[in-house]
């Protein structure tokens, strides 16, 4: 597990597709990747809990982990970390390996299909998706996503929004280019359900949640559950 740190390339276009999962759609239009995948700028969003430690190593992400050691737990709405702009990962070091291992544990414990780093209080551009029998969990570092196809509504839940279900409109096909945990760049395309999962998790890296995509009817249906979450958060902060 203790792999040597690697500098990682920046995904740009998907011309150099390393591999392709299942069949995708031909006509994929460029979308919402405005800042995705660009290398680490210093305008890191910070909160008190995320202030750099005095001994943080330049060029590493150590400062993001000082107060956030495992075991991490799921962060729920309306915790502000879910709204932060996330930072591109520049080095895959032992902290990133540790973060991914811990995220896999949290995702498995909660039975989720995917989990983004902000959901465990780490505002980095990384998410994971759950595998199936004979198909491993996948790690997406600094992903760039392109979406296409007809837009369809489908019910989505979120580990950070327990008891909330939103019928989210999304294009049915997606192509994603990201860096794997071993530092290699890969591209996947699908028009299956994974296209929706990638879009959901990518939204987390942009500080977007499914409740931002609610219809008036969803707003009504979820009003009480959202209020309960807000109240619970206030109580945790107060206590």
Binding-site ranges for Zn ion (CB under 5 A): 158
Cα–Cα distance measured from residue 231 to residue 239, given in angstroms and rounded to the nearest whole number: 12
- We find the least distance from the C-beta atom of residue 10 to Zn ion, in angstroms, to be 25
Phi, psi of 124 (to 5 degrees): -115, 160
Of 39 and 73, the one with the shorter C-beta distance to Zn ion is 73
194-203 exposure pattern, b = at least 16 Cβ within 10 A, e = fewer: bbbbbbbbbb
Give 3-state DSSP helix, strand, coil % of the chain, rounded to 5.
Answer: 30, 25, 50
Catalytic residue among 146, 201, 206, 235: 201
Our CB check for Zn ion shows the closer of 3 and 110 to be 110
Give, as one character, the DSSP assignment of residue 187. E
Output the smallest distance, CB 236 to Zn ion, in A: 19
> How do strand 91-92 and strand 185-190 relate by DSSP bridges?
unpaired
Beta bridge partners of 146: 175
Q: Which ranges of 45-126 would DSSP assign to H, the alpha helix?
A: 94-110
The minimum distance between CB 82 and Zn ion, in angstroms, equals 9
User: Please, are residues 53 and 62 in contact by the beta-carbon 8 Å criterion?
Assistant: yes
Q: From the CB of 193, what's the least distance to Zn ion, in Å?
A: 15
> Of 126 and 158, which has the nearer Cβ to Zn ion?
158
Q: Is 201 among the catalytic positions?
A: yes
Output 87 or 211, the one with its CB closest to Zn ion: 211
Residues with a known catalytic role: 201
């Amino acid at each position: 597990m203790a792999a040597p740190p690697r500098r990682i390339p920046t995904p740009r276009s998907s011309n150099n597709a390393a591999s392709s999962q299942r069949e995708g759609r031909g006509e994929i239009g460029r979308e919402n990747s405005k800042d995705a995948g660009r290398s680490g700028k210093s305008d890191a969003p910070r909160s008190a809990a995320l202030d750099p430690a005095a001994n943080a190593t330049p060029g590493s992400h150590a400062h993001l982990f000082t107060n956030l050691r495992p075991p991490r737990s799921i962060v729920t709405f309306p915790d502000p970390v879910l709204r932060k702009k996330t930072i591109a990962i520049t080095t895959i070091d032992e902290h990133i390996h540790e973060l991914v291992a811990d995220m896999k544990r949290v995702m498995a414990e909660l039975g989720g299909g995917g989990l983004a780093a902000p959901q465990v209080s780490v505002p980095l551009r990384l998410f994971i998706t759950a595998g199936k029998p004979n198909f491993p969990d996948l790690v997406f570092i600094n992903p760039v996503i392109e979406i296409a196809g007809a837009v369809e509504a489908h019910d989505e839940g979120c580990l950070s929004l327990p008891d909330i279900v939103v019928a989210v409109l999304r294009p049915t096909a997606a192509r994603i280019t990201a860096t794997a945990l071993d530092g290699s760049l890969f591209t996947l395309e699908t028009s299956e359900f994974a296209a929706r999962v990638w879009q959901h998790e990518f939204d987390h890296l942009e500080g977007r949640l499914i409740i931002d995509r609610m219809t008036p009817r969803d707003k009504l249906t979820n009003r009480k559950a959202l209020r309960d979450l807000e109240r619970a958060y206030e109580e945790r902060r107060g206590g």
